[in-house]
Structure 1
Amino acid sequence: MTYLRLALAAAFCLAVSSAHAAGLKFLHIPGGQGEDPAIHAAMWSPCAEVPADVRIEGLTVPAVLDCPIAGEKLPLVIISHGYGGWYLGHHDTAEALADAGFVVVAVNHPHANYADMSRADGLGALIGRPVDIKRTVDFMLMASPDAAKIDPQRVGFYGFSQGGYTGLVIAGANPDFSKLPPRCADPKATGCPQTNQVRRSQQRPLPQSLTHDPRIRAMVVADPLSVVLQTTDSVKNVTIPLQLWGSELGGGGGASPEDVATLARVLPEKPDFRIVSNAVHLSFLTPCPKNRQFSEVCIDAPGFDRAAFHREFNAEVIAFFRQSLRE
């Protein structure tokens, strides 16, 4: 699967958005003085205006650009995409949350998103992802022009695949990177001899500690990269309310149904664990238009209705965050 096809498929998915009144704003989170690059993000929020068709990057979406946030002391949810994904890959969930009264910010992880995969395959990407989330929370609660609209005591997180891994680390997990499978030294290669493979655990010295953030009070993770989180010791500090979703059929690297089930068993606090019957790994991505079902990211198992599943999924996610982040 090429990154271009991923990007095109994700773009086409925008055409089937079902937002009712979601405001949409694009954010630029400045880079730090060190090696931290700028982060680009999309923010959805409650909006009192009626949405209209808006052209964004050649696409038509129902939204209200730069709509003033309707409400005060609103809960915040941060969204982290999977490998090769982007900040619009879960836009239907973001829109549903915004319509339900949440401020939602989805990030493009720098140098590890569909448009720029230049650093996506090194261990540094897995180490840097939780840092990206902490920087985003910092920005939204302190530097953002909308900071006063957000309740800093009600911050949640949603992550898919590597984004799910990201959330678990933020919540206190300490993964065992030695369990990662080898990956090609060239991130553009689709197959390579064993001599050209590198272990991500050997590409960069491990930090003394990974980035955790106690400000995030509840999270939803779907088919997380969990091959590195298979022991009670690795997740012993993950104690916040957690809704864990797994696909029955799998298909994502490091997120096999068996690994996700093991993660559910070893967590110290029993998660709200849901297995989605007949779903594949990519079924958690936003629904695709019917005329684009041939795309690799849009292919579900026979008989699986992604749009119907997402209506149920979004409702369950909203209910979970409302309960877990209640005032």
Structure 2
Amino acid sequence: MKTTRKILPYAAAQILTVLLCLFTAVAHAAGFKRLDIPADANGPALNAMVWTPCAEPAENVPFGPYILHGRRDCPTVGDKLPLIVISHGHTGSFLGHHDLAEVLADAGFVVAAINHPGDSFADPGRSGDLSVFVERPTDIKRLIDYMLGAAPDAVKIDPQRIGFFGFSRGGYTGLVLAGGAPDFKHADVPCPDPRPPVCDEIARGELPTQPLPVDARIRAFVLADPLNEFPAASDLKNVTAPMQVWASQYGGDGVLPHNAPALANTLPRKPDYHYVPNSAHFAFLAPCPAGMKKSVPEICVDERGFDRVAFHKQFDASVLAFFEANLR
């Protein structure tokens, strides 16, 4: 059994303080911009959000339902910057982890997130289909290709220092990119009522006939409450990159409470594992403004006295420390 690391507020606060001191000279805010990645032979157009180090003071900027902390379209500071790509969960969005993106960009990282076609808040039309599970890893590969090629800041990115953050289905996406071979037929993933098409597709044996894409450019992975489609050790035998795995106590949205601990114990390389007491699945999403708490309480309102704002100060600091240790 791998060691379980619970959240230690004092230690996490120390980490955050040290890191903020270290990187004050690098940037003063997270710059952010919207980008559109053109369609190509491998998939449709991708809507992206990019955060970069910025030398201007931060502002609170309304953007959709969120308040972003940074500067819109701020010139990027620095060269040979590490890149982090973000994959959201089931019908999520590229803003779902904006607070983490802001912390990383303020510390000298370029961060890029996309809306997965067919499985995002803006485009949920195929979210219940197996096709989105097949296409998600390719979406991220295309994002990395763009960030290293045609993106405005491509020349400022170090292609040898790329990391990945994924939540829920985004965690599944990261495991595939790291070399995992999903076994949809035997995975410990419940089929809700009403049954989505993916359940019937799997039952009929309509499974991928070719291996899903791996991306060796990604050197380190952070997975938050990942959807575990990898029931056997053999499914993960090729996953050897450094990983940080986070587990909520209660799970949700198809992630069972024991899934992330089982995954952490199955990985061939011991991950940096964190268990978060009293949390449910959506605690890993950025804290919601008041309007979202009223309109979408199912993903914004935490129960059992869980303090999402306080947790994210620790969570963001720990993720930053992990990427610093493995990509700097």
User: Given the two structures, how large is their TM-score scaled by the length of structure 1?
Assistant: 0.85
Is the alpha carbon distance of 1:58 and 1:316 closer, same or farther for their aligned partners in structure 2, counting shifts above 3 Å? closer
Residue 71 of structure 2 corresponds to residue 64 of structure 1: yes
Q: Which residue in 2 is equivalent to 1:214? A: 216
Q: Which residue in 2 is equivalent to 1:142? A: 149
Q: Deviations over 1:224-260 (max 9, x none)?
A: 001x21211000111000000000121230x212121
Q: SS at 2:82's partner residue?
A: strand
Residue 28 of structure 2 corresponds to residue 23 of structure 1: no
- Give 1:55 deviation, angstroms: 4.2
Q: Which residue in 2 is equivalent to 1:3? A: none
Q: Which residue in 1 is equivalent to 2:300? A: 298
Pairing partner for 1:118 from 98, 112, 125: 125
Q: Is the 8 A contact 2:65 2:291 kept in 1?
A: no
Amino acid at match of 2:31: G
- Give 1:63 deviation, angstroms: 2.7
Residue 83 of structure 2 corresponds to residue 76 of structure 1: yes
- Give 1:177 deviation, angstroms: 0.9
- Structure 1 unaligned regions, length at least 5: 1-18, 185-190
Is the alpha carbon distance of 1:182 and 1:271 closer, same or farther for their aligned partners in structure 2, counting shifts above 3 Å? closer
Q: C-alpha separation between the residues in 2 aligned to 1:51 and 1:194?
A: 43
- Give 1:202 deviation, angstroms: 3.9
Q: SS at 2:260's partner residue?
A: helix
Q: Is the 8 A contact 1:103 1:150 kept in 2?
A: yes
Q: C-alpha separation between the residues in 2 aligned to 1:201 and 1:28?
A: 36
Q: C-alpha separation between the residues in 2 aligned to 1:289 and 1:238?
A: 37
- Give 1:53 deviation, angstroms: 4.0
- Give 1:21 deviation, angstroms: 0.7
- Give 1:146 deviation, angstroms: 0.9
Pairing partner for 1:46 from 53, 58, 67: 53
Q: C-alpha separation between the residues in 2 aligned to 1:196 and 1:66?
A: 40
Q: SS at 2:258's partner residue?
A: helix
Q: C-alpha separation between the residues in 2 aligned to 1:278 and 1:69?
A: 39
1:1-327 alignment to 2 at 5 Å? Answer: 21-33=29-41, 36-57=43-64, 60-179=67-186, 191-192=193-194, 198-200=200-202, 202=204, 204-226=206-228, 228-253=229-254, 255-289=255-289, 292-294=292-294, 295-326=297-328
Q: Is the 8 A contact 2:174 2:223 kept in 1?
A: yes
Q: C-alpha separation between the residues in 1 aligned to 2:319 and 2:238?
A: 23
Q: Is the 8 A contact 1:287 1:298 kept in 2?
A: yes
Q: C-alpha separation between the residues in 1 aligned to 2:129 and 2:319?
A: 31
Amino acid at match of 2:267: L
- Give 1:205 deviation, angstroms: 4.3
- Give 1:183 deviation, angstroms: 5.2
- Give 1:179 deviation, angstroms: 3.0
The count of residues paired between Structure 1 and Structure 2 equals: 299
Q: C-alpha separation between the residues in 2 aligned to 1:291 and 1:193?
A: 31
Q: Is the 8 A contact 2:93 2:114 kept in 1?
A: yes
User: Given the two structures, how large is their TM-score scaled by the length of structure 2?
Assistant: 0.85
> Cα RMSD over matched residues?
2.3
Q: C-alpha separation between the residues in 1 aligned to 2:73 and 2:151?
A: 13
Q: Is the 8 A contact 2:28 2:55 kept in 1?
A: no
- Give 1:120 deviation, angstroms: 1.4
Is the alpha carbon distance of 1:81 and 1:195 closer, same or farther for their aligned partners in structure 2, counting shifts above 3 Å? closer
Q: SS at 1:136's partner residue?
A: helix
Q: SS at 2:233's partner residue?
A: coil
Q: Deviations over 1:49-99 (max 9, x none)?
A: 123343434765333221111011000000000001000011000001111
Q: SS at 1:37's partner residue?
A: coil
